[in-house]
Homo-oligomer: A and B are copies of this chain.
Amino acid sequence: MKTKVAIVGASGYSGQELVRLLLRHPHVAISCFTSRQYAGKPVTDIFPKFRGLVDATFVEPNVADISAQAAFLALPHGVAAEYAVPLLEKGIKVFDLSADFRLKSAAVYKDYYEHEHPAPALLARAVYGLPERHRDAIKKADLIACPGCYPTSIILGVLPVLKQAKNIIVSSMSGVSGAGRKVSDEYIFPECNESARAYGIPKHRHLSEIEEQLGQTISFTPHLIPINRGIVSTIYIDAAVPDPLPLYRDFYRNEPFVRVTDALPDTKNVAMTNFCDISARFDKRTNRLVVVTAIDNLTKGAAGQAVQCLNLVFGYDETEGLV
């Protein structure tokens, strides 16, 4: 029998990507699509690409009505926690794509998200859903805090050399879907097309989880570029690793979704996949290691990684529905 899952907040881009992935997952059935904004409307009115594939209607996000073994929360931070608490009480495993449970410290959360944490008691219970780092803990968890897109691309790039890493500096470029399905004048086509820009420096919110996971203070600049999907992170590390590729290959040799490549990564090679492509060069002129990673921000950076975590929690093959 298939595992019943609810997608809470299904009408944004992460929700849409969850639908895309779960539709082809052999062991999962979506039992409920919630959307406050579109309740009562057919899912395919909002996502016409699923016509012929989905026959369902958005419903109001009422926890009492949700009958499922797992729930994905594709909600804004602050809101997600409100749903996580009662869902967990109902015995539903929660895969939260928001930032609400990614940090261990409610104080750091408040510093970065500018409001009190809505459910601090759950912070210790949550597991950071990066399988390459916390696989065993994820398997046993019922509250998975799925990492942000930038953090996924950065942490995976640093992990193999974390012990010797110093002075980490990261420049990332993201496609516009990373802003969500947000209707704002800065995201309309003529303002994004033929545009490239840095934003959110020097203290982007994602820094908090990156630094907690890496255990050090870093510099991070995100940039917005005119592609739909994809993140490239270029990571400078003071680390004497003259021949990094064998080390990276060895570190990730058993990982199904990390590909260490000779060639430098390109978003187009990971688009619509759950892969993280990584390459690295050592610059002997400056004694710095330069690591470049690429992911699809909506897949490995959000929905795909959440499904990967679901596979771990429910004992399915980790790649189910993802290749």
Interface residues of chain A, those whose CB is within 8 Å of chain B, are 13, 48-49, 51-53, 167, 169, 171, 173, 175-177, 181-185, 187-199, 201-203, 217-219, 221, 223, 225-230, 232, 234, 236, 256, 259, 261, 263-273, 275, 277, 281-283, 285-286, 288, 290, 292, 294, 323
B230 with A196: CB separation less than 8 A: yes
Q: How far is the CA of A167 from the CA of B169 in the complex (A)?
A: 11
Q: Does the CB pair A188–B182 fall under 8 Å?
A: yes
Which one of B171, B197, B269, B272 contacts A267 once the chains associate, using CB atoms below 8 Å? B197
CB closest chain-B residue, reference A167? B167
B194 engages A268 (CB within 8 Å): yes
Residues of B within 8 A of A285 (CB): 202-203, 217
Q: How far is the CB of A106 from chain B (nearest CB, A)?
A: 20
Contacting residue for A190 out of B13, B201, B277, B283, CB 8 A: B13
Contact A190 B177 (CB under 8 A): yes
Beta-carbon contact of A236 and B267 below 8 Å: no
Q: Which residues of B contact A190 (CB under 8 A)?
A: 13, 175-177, 181, 228
A257 to chain B, nearest CB (A): 8
What 4 new A-B contacts, CB under 8 Å, besides A194-B227, A225-B225, A225-B226? A49-B268, A49-B271, A52-B259, A181-B190
Instruction: Determine whether the beta carbon of B234 is less than 8 Å from that of A49.
Output: no
Given A219-B286, A228-B190, A269-B48, also A197-B264 (CB < 8 A): yes
Whole-angstrom distance between the Cβ of A304 and the nearest chain B Cβ: 14
Contacts of A227 in B (CB 8 A): 193-196, 225-226
Q: Is B232's CB under 8 angstroms from A196's CB?
A: yes
**Minimum Cβ distance to chain B for residue A140 (Å):** 28
Give chain B residues whose Cβ lies under 8 Å from the Cβ of A201: 264, 281, 283, 290, 292
State the CA gap A248–B283 with chains docked (Å): 30
Task: Give complex CA distance A282, B201 in Å.
Answer: 9
Q: With a CB–CB cut-off of 8 A, which chain B residues contact A272? A: 272
Asked if residues A259 and B290 are in contact (CB atoms below 8 Å), the reply is no
Interface centre among A194, A218, A294 (most CB of B within 10 A): A194
B residues in contact with A277, CB < 8 Å:
48, 51
Closest chain B residue to A185, Cβ basis: B183
Interface pairs (14), CB distance under 8 Å: A48-B263, A49-B273, A171-B234, A176-B193, A183-B183, A189-B191, A193-B193, A193-B227, A197-B266, A197-B267, A198-B292, A202-B285, A202-B288, A225-B227
Q: What are the residues of chain B within 8 A of A48 when measuring CB–CB?
A: 261, 263, 266, 269, 277
CB-CB under 8 A from A198, the residues of chain B are 232, 234, 264-265, 292
Most interface-central of A167, A234, A272, A294 (chain B CB within 10 A): A234
- Provide the residues of chain B in CB contact with A52, threshold 8 Å: 256, 259, 275
**In whole angstroms, how far apart are the Cα atoms of A193 and B194 in the complex?**
9
User: Least Cβ distance of A203 to chain B in Å?
Assistant: 7
Residues of B within 8 A of A266 (CB): 48, 195-197
CB-based contact A281/B197 at 8 Å: no
